[in-house]
């Protein structure tokens, strides 16, 4: 257990350029981290309780260690070094313990279950008394990977707190990060947290939140794409709430109902992601070509495919119409069904065109902002290095 009083960790949200939903079925996804982060503070308590404060979802809970210890017999297998998957029995036990009625689980309660699962699995040898607060710059449930940033910060904090990985603050390094093998362990535990929240996640979201930057992801294979050009995008939040778990389940049902119709669509989405990577690499290599026209066409085709698999929404169609009327191309990002869309900006785009499109989108009740992509993955922070405008939430 770390001796220092309190530890801060943070992890970025993400946008998926191409490959959402198809990546759940082993296809390629291209995803990039955002400069919006989730922050977590963890500190030891001396009152034999575990206190969890989640202001973004209005949850504040506390349990006695003695109560939590009654659950340990069900988590013995988890005490191995290897991250273990939550089973239906684990989730039923945790729902009952947390007082959540079976079947009535809203996505917000899933955060509590994910914490309990990770706490009992990672710290099970000697349950520590602790106080944890998580606050995020990311809108939750909007397709920006808030669940993954949450799972990565919780896994990182618990692994560091229980000395399962090193405490980077002791290394006095410039950027407080972990070694590759420790980041890999963080990512694999965070994936277990995503399984509680998403049901059947691909792992792309927690990979981006852990490693940061732009990466290619396919069936657990993570390929950082440092040598590709940075894209300028506008993020639009339709503010339409939705649950990734429900949307991912819906695609699974449709795929089982129409396999010969849906499988070619998923394969086409895979080809779009591959072609996008090729174009981005040509861009950075200075190979001549109308690269941005191709990138725009890929965005349009993929958006139509995402509608076909059932994860579109009228609000997302509206974003596409408004931006298209300004010569810009957009697609949903993340699980869809509302949430966020991305719009590609050409380097030579007229700033007034972008401003007009953003004003029209705002008039539709959407929230939109230009964003910087490629932020670092999970980081540790000393209290004194935390920005004041973040610290006010802790």
Ligand X SMILES: Nc1ncnc2c1ncn2[C@@H]1O[C@H](COP(=O)(O)OP(=O)(O)O)[C@@H](O)[C@H]1O
Residues binding ligand PMV (CB under 6 A):
20-21, 23-24, 143-145, 147, 198, 201-202, 204-205, 244, 248, 334-335
Q: Does 111 bind ligand X (CB under 6 A)?
A: yes
Rounded least distance, CB 57 to ligand X, Å: 5
| Closer residue to ligand PMV (CB): 6 or 317 | 317
DSSP string, 252-280: HHHHHHSHHHHHHHHHHHHHHHHHHHHHH
User: Any idea what DSSP says for residue 20?
Assistant: T
| Closer residue to ligand PMV (CB): 160 or 192 | 192
**Of 10, 28, 12, whose CA–CA distance to 20 is shortest?**
28
Question: CA-to-CA distance for 114 and 54, rounded, in angstroms?
Answer: 12
Given ligand X, ligand PMV, Mg ion, none, residue 140, with its beta carbon under 5 to 8 Å by kind, binds ligand X
Question: CA-to-CA distance for 366 and 236, rounded, in angstroms?
Answer: 7
| Closer residue to ligand X (CB): 207 or 280 | 207
Rounded least distance, CB 340 to ligand X, Å: 8
Which residues touch 70 (CB under 8 Å, ≥6 apart)?
A: none
Chain centre to alpha carbon of residue 99: 26
| Closer residue to ligand X (CB): 195 or 360 | 195
Q: Which of 33, 146, 147, 151 is catalytic?
A: 147
| Closer residue to ligand PMV (CB): 124 or 143 | 143
Q: 382 an active-site residue?
A: no
Q: Which listed residue (78, 107, 210, 343) binds ligand X by CB under 6 A?
A: 107
Q: Does 244 bind ligand X (CB under 6 A)?
A: yes
Q: Which residue number is nearest to ligand PMV in terms of Cβ?
A: 334
Binding string, 211-250, against Mg ion, x = CB under 5 A? ---------------------------------x------
Q: 205 an active-site residue?
A: yes
The CA radius of gyration of the chain, in Å to the nearest whole number, is: 21
Binding string, 121-160, against Mg ion, x = CB under 5 A? --------------------------x-------------
Helices (H) and strands (E) in the chain, counts: 12, 12
Buried b (16+ CB within 10 A) or exposed e, 148-165: bbbbbbbbbbbbbbbebb
Q: Which of 10, 121, 202, 205 is catalytic?
A: 205
Question: CA-to-CA distance for 29 and 112, rounded, in angstroms?
Answer: 28
Q: How much of the chain is helix, strand and coil, in % rounded to 5?
A: 45, 20, 30
DSSP H or E stretch at residue 184: helix 180-198
Binding string, 326-345, against ligand X, x = CB under 6 A? --------x-----------
Alpha-carbon torsion (63, 64, 65, 71), positive or negative: negative
Alpha-carbon torsion (88, 94, 98, 99), positive or negative: positive
Please give the size of the binding site for ligand X, defined by CB under 6 A.
Answer: 24
Given Mg ion, ligand PMV, ligand X, none, residue 338, with its beta carbon under 5 to 8 Å by kind, binds none
Among positions 131-150, residues that touch ligand X (CB under 6 A) are: 134, 136, 140-147, 150
How many angstroms separate the Cα of 376 from the Cα of each of 35, 277, 290? 8, 20, 30
Q: Which listed residue (7, 16, 30, 54) binds ligand X by CB under 6 A?
A: 54
Q: What residues are annotated to the active site? A: 147, 205
The residue ranges that bind Mg ion (CB under 5 A) are 147, 244
The residue ranges that bind ligand X (CB under 6 A) are 38, 54, 56-57, 107-108, 110-111, 134, 136, 140-147, 150, 197-198, 243-244, 334
């Amino acid at each position: 257990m770390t001796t220092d009083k309190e530890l801060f960790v943070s992890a970025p949200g993400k946008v998926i350029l191409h490959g959402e939903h198809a990546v759940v079925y082993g296809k390629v996804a291209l995803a990039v981290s955002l400069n919006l982060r989730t922050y977590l503070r963890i500190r030891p308590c001396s009152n034999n309780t575990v206190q969890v404060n989640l202001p973004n979802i209005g949850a504040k809970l506390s349990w006695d260690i003695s109560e939590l210890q009654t659950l340990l017999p069900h988590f013995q297998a988890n005490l191995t070094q290897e991250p273990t998957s939550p089973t239906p029995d684990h989730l039923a036990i945790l729902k009952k313990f947390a007082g959540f009625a079976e079947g009535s689980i809203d996505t917000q309660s899933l955060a509590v279950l994910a914490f309990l699962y990770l706490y009992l699995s990672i710290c099970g040898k000697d349950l520590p008394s602790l106080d944890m607060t998580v606050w995020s710059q990311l809108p939750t449930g909007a397709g920006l990977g808030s669940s993954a940033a949450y799972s990565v910060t919780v896994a990182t904090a618990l692994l560091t707190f229980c000395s399962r990985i090193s405490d980077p603050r002791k290394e006095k390094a410039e950027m407080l990060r972990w070694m590759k093998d420790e980041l890999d362990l963080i990512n694999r535990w965070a994936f277990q947290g995503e399984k509680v929240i998403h049901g059947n996640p691909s792992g792309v979201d927690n990979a981006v939140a852990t490693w940061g930057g732009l990466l290619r992801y396919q069936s657990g294979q993570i390929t950082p794409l440092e040598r590709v050009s940075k894209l300028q995008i506008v993020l639009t939040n339709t503010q339409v709430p939705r649950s990734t778990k429900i949307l991912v389940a819906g695609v699974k049902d449709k795929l089982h109902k129409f396999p010969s119709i849906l499988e070619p669509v998923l394969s086409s989405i895979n080809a779009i992601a591959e072609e996008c990577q090729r174009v981005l690499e040509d861009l950075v290599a200075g190979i001549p070509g109308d690269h941005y026209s191709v990138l725009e066409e890929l965005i349009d085709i993929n958006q139509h495919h995402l509608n076909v698999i059932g994860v579109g929404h009228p609000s997302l169609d509206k974003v596409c119409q408004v931006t298209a009327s300004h010569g810009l191309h957009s697609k949903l990002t993340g699980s869809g069904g509302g949430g966020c869309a991305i719009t590609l900006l050409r380097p030579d785009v007229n700033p007034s065109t972008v401003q007009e499109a953003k004003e029209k989108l705002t008039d539709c009740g959407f929230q939109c902002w230009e964003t910087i992509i490629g932020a670092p993955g999970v980081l540790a922070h000393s209290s004194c290095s935390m920005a004041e405008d973040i610290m006010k939430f802790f």
